[in-house]
Amino acid sequence: MSARSLRWLWIWAGIAAVILLPLFWVFSPPSVTGDSPWDSVPGRLPGVEHTALLDQSFASPQAVTARCLECHDGVDQDLRHSSHWTWDRPPVAVAGRSEPVSGGKRNVINNFCIGIQGNWASCTACHAGYGWTDASYDFDATENIDCLVCHDGSGTYVKGNAGLPVDGVDLREVAMSVGKPGRNNCGSCHFNGGGGDAVKHGDLDSSLFYPSENVDVHMGRFDFVCTDCHRTRDHQIAGRSTSVSMDNENQIHCTDCHDRAPHRERRLNSHGGALACQTCHIPETARRRATKTHWDWSTAGDESREEDDHQYLRIKGSFAYEQQLKPSYMWFNGKASRYILGDPIDPNEVTALNAPLGSIEDPEARIWPFKVHRASQVYDRLNRYLLQPETSGPRGFWKNFDWDRALRSGSQHTGLAYSGDYGFTDTSMYWPQTHMVAPKEQALQCIDCHGEEGKGRLDWQSLGYPGDPVRWGGRGNMAPRPTPPEARP
C-alpha cells in the first residue's frame, strides 16, 4: 500500500471515530444498576398503646417525665448525652485553627437571631427540656427532659418560653397519645427555626407536615417520617447541620439506601464523581413557603415604619423572602469553616459564618446546592469582631430598642469585650439543601446546566473549570485552560 493510500486510510479512520464514538456513547446499553433502596429502609416497629398507662392527671411536665422513666429506665441518661439536650458537640479539629473547637447551638452565632446567650428563654422554646432560662441551667437534672415534644401524638402540645408547655396544654391528653416520632414532632421546631415558618433552612417548612410528592417525593409519595432517614439509636439521632456542627460524623447520605450508581444511563452515573445527588434531584426549594434570604438588622427600631412579617418588624429590621428558590452551587466535602465569637473580621468584606469547605481539587468534594442567607448584623468598630446583643431578655433590644444597652448586656453574657462603638457589617450563612427531593421526572436535565453559550444554572468558572465540562472535560480530565489574550506573546 502506497504512503498516499495509507494517509487516506488514517484520515477516514479518524473521521469514522469522530462520528461513531459519540454514537456509541449515546446508544451504549444501559448500565446494570443494583439500586434497591427499599432493602435499606428500616422497618417500623409497632408502638405501645399508652392510653391506659398514662390515664392520670399531671401537676407539671416534669411529672410526666418521671412517669415515663418508671418504665423507660435509663433513657434519660441516653438523652443526656445527645445534642438535642446539650446543644453542644465534643471539640473537633477545624481547618485554619490550631486547637480543637467545640460548637453547637449553645455557643455559636448565626445571622438570624444571632445567639442564645442572654436570650435563653426565647431560644430554648425549642430545647428538648424544661426551664433553661440562664447560664446556670443544670444539664444533669434529667427530670427536666421533655419526652412529649418528640413523642406527642395528639397534635396539641406546644412549647413556650424556656421550653415549658404553653397555658392550656392538657398534659394528660398529650401523655396518653405518645408514640413514635413523626413529622409533626420534628417539624414543630425544625420547620420554625429562626423565628417562624420556613425562615432558616429553605428545604424545611410546614409544607412538609402533609406534603404532596411534588414537594418531597419521599414524604409525599411514600409517607416517610424524619426518622426513616435520620436513624436513631439510644436517642442519638443521625444527621448534621453545618449551621452549628463543625464535622460530618454521624451524617446521613442518599447512599445509605441508594446505590452509588443508581441510574440506568451510564452518562448520569458518571456525574456522581462531581455532583451530589441533591444537585440534580432538588432543582428548587421553598416550594410552597417563602424562605428568608436577607435580614438587615441595621433598620430595626424604626417605629414609623409599617410592620409586615415578611418585610419589616421593628424588633428585627427588614427582610427579603424568596419562594421556589433556585439554589446556589458550591463544592462541599461535608465540612464547613466556622466563625467563633471573637474572631477578627474585615467590616468592608462579607464575613462567612460557615463557608462550605471543598474545591475542584478535593476528591471528597461534590458540587452541592445551597441556600445562602445574607444579613447585616452588629459588630464592634474598635475591636473589629461581631457582637452578640441581648435581644429578648429584660435589657434586650426588643424591649428597649437601644443597641448600646443591648450590646453591653450581651457582652456580660458572652464575656466578649464591647468598646462602646458599634456598626453593622455584612455576613453570609450557607444551608445545604437536602430535603424537598423532587420526583425523578422533575430532576434537572442536561440543558439546565450545560446550556448554550454558558447560560446554564452553574457558573463553571467560579467552580474552577475553564468552562462547560462538555467542552473542557470533567475535573479528572480537563483540557488546559486557554491563555488569556493579554497574556499571549
The percent of residues in the chain predicted with pLDDT above 90, rounded, is: 78
Q: Is residue 236 part of a domain?
A: yes
Closest CA to 371 of 177, 198, 118, 158: 198
Q: Is residue 260 part of a domain?
A: yes
Of 141-145, 235-239, 471-475, the range with the lowest mean pLDDT is: 471-475
Question: Which three cell numbers mark 200?
Answer: 432558616
Q: Is residue 402 part of a domain?
A: yes
CA distance 455 to 448: 8
| Residue 299 in this model has a pLDDT that exceeds 60 | yes
Higher-pLDDT residue of 1, 358: 358
Residue by residue, DSSP assigns 144-175 as GB-SHHHH--SS---B-GGGPBPTT--HHHHH
pLDDT at 452: 82
Q: Is residue 28 part of a domain?
A: no
pLDDT at 22: 47
Are 356 and 369 in contact, with CB atoms under 8 Å apart?
Answer: no
At 430-449, the pLDDT tens digits run 999 999 999 999 999 999 99
Does the reported pTM lie above 0.85? yes
Domain ranges, residue 268: 100-115+199-442
Q: Is residue 35 part of a domain?
A: no
Q: Is residue 470 part of a domain?
A: no
pLDDT at 32: 47
Q: Is residue 216 part of a domain?
A: yes
pLDDT at 245: 86
Q: Is residue 159 part of a domain?
A: no
Q: Model confidence at 18, in pLDDT bands (50, 70, 90)?
A: very low
pLDDT at 12: 61
Q: What number of other Cβ atoms are within 10 A of residue 19's Cβ? A: 10
Of 1-15, 67-81, 234-248, 393-407, the range with the lowest mean pLDDT is: 1-15
Phi, psi for 485 (deg, rounded to 5): -55, -40
CA distance 240 to 252: 8
pLDDT at 10: 57
Report how many domains make up the chain: 1
